[in-house]
Amino acid sequence: MTLDYIEARKIRVAYAVSGPAEGPACVFIHGWTGSIAEWSMVVDALHHLGWRTLAIDCPGHGHSAAASTREVYTMAALAGLHYEVACVLGFTPAVVVGFSMGGAIAEEYALRHSTAVSGLVLLGSAGGDWIDDEAEADIAEALSVAFSAGMEALWEVRAKRLYPEEFHRLSAEERTKRRQGFAGTSPEGYIYTLYGLLAKRNTVVDMARLGKPTLILHGAREQASIIEAAQRLHAALPASTYVVVPQAGHFAQRDNPDAFNAVLTNFLERLSCG
């Protein structure tokens, strides 16, 4: 995917557009501490089917500039930013695909701009009624490290706390690679987005009223709280499609790209034929 830049809400936002100009549209929204790169194995598969895609780096993530105020990082504000970029670049209406935090953003996008959304795909989503029980602890940890010592130092602290056995098994080369990848998110993008997730609303009732075609999916090894939230949202949306991606964890599009792409393309083909 080739990066380009656009000014949105006074922020220099990185994005990538691919696929045939006349094809049906998909907008991709990545997860917390992620970037456009999360979708690299997905968009290639869609291009062969004639879809055009837009992927955007959230503020403070990937190659997008960070904003210095927390208000920019609420789920509603991030949804508004994605919608504005999509409008300028001609991606309305579109199927909106959200992963993890991107799922919460995608729901707000659809609820606030319903005519611009032809369908929703929610992968390992932080939307619905999901609650992050660790957000406050993560914020406190990050506030004491990220701005003073930097994001690579925060990765060391976080990895040792959450994955102590894995951390000590990593080679020096792999440790450096993961640390530098994590540092692609700015302190503002990391901490202020957590505030946004902590303050997000329960969208289940409004999603049920919305009535958009929705694909809800997650990896078979996804964390229990996200699985339970996905099942509750599916129960509230009788017309939704619910799929478990085998041999995959939270990053199902990366862990089992063939299976994920098969489910996604089947859903998109049914939408385009309907």
pLDDT value for 241: 97
Residue with tokens 């990391």: 190
Dist. CA 42–CA 35, nearest whole Å: 13
pLDDT tens string 3-34: 999 999 999 999 999 999 889 999 999 999 99
pLDDT tens string 60-100: 999 999 999 999 999 999 999 999 999 999 999 999 999 99
Is the pLDDT assigned to residue 272 strictly greater than 80?
Answer: no
208 versus 44: the higher-pLDDT residue is: 208
Is the pLDDT assigned to residue 166 strictly greater than 90?
Answer: no
CB 101, CB 77: distance < 8 Å: no
Nearest partner of 226 among 123, 134, 135, 139, judged by Cα? 123
Is the pLDDT assigned to residue 274 strictly greater than 70?
Answer: no
- Long-range contacts made by residues 168-174, C-beta under 8 angstroms, separation at least 24? none
Q: Residue 109's Cα: distance from chain center in Å? A: 12
Domain boundaries defined on the chain:
3-131+201-273, 135-192
pLDDT tens string 126-138: 999 999 888 898 9
Q: Where are the alpha helices (DSSP H) in the chain?
A: 40-47, 75-88, 101-112, 135-149, 151-162, 164-169, 172-182, 187-198, 204-210, 224-236, 252-255, 257-273
Instruction: Give the pTM.
Output: 0.95
Burial 195-232 (b: 16+ CB within 10 A, else e): bbbeebeebbeebeebebbbbbbbbeebeeebbebbee
Q: Characterize the bridge pairing of strands 3-8 and 11-18.
A: antiparallel
Mean pLDDT of the residues in the chain: 94
For residues 255-272, give the mean pLDDT: 94
Dist. CA 200–CA 260, nearest whole Å: 27
Dist. CA 150–CA 186, nearest whole Å: 9
For residues 176-186, give the mean pLDDT: 89
CATH of domain 3-131+201-273: 3.40.50.1820
For residues 211-230, give the mean pLDDT: 96
